[in-house]
Structure 1
């Protein structure tokens, strides 16, 4: 979860956070997917901890199976 700080002048009720009343200068956790929905309002919210970006998993490489080699007769 990401964190943002409410920098508005008056307390605000945030329906997305279960109708939580957020006070001025209060820090709250928000879903990572909604982080930009808060920070796009710079007069009201500032970023504290940005969403965590998971590192992509390393690619798995497998060796291709090769057919068995049979010895040639002379």
Structure 2
């Protein structure tokens, strides 16, 4: 889980967190896949801990050497 801090001036209710009210300067955990939805609001939220990359980056498959 990623973590974000509410930097807005007043408390907000976050439906995604079960309708929980988050207070200014409070740090909360959010699902990794929703992290960008918070930090794209820089006047309201700031990143504390970015999501852990659980999916490995992959590259295109290399051609296999075979007997031609």
Root-mean-square deviation over aligned CA pairs: 1.0
Structure showing greater Rg = 1
Q: Which runs of 5+ in 2 are unaligned?
A: 57-68
Counterpart of 2:8? 8
What is the number of residues matched between the two proteins?
A: 56
CA 1:14–1:50 in structure 2 vs 1: closer, same or farther (change >3 Å)?
same
Per-residue deviation at 1:49? 0.3
* Aligned ranges 1:1-74 → 2 under 5 Å: 1-54=1-54, 56=56
The runs of at least 4 consecutive aligned structure 1 residues that moved more than 4 Å come to none
List runs of 5+ in structure 1 lacking aligned partners. 57-74
Partners in 2 of 1:43 and 1:55 — Cα distance? 30
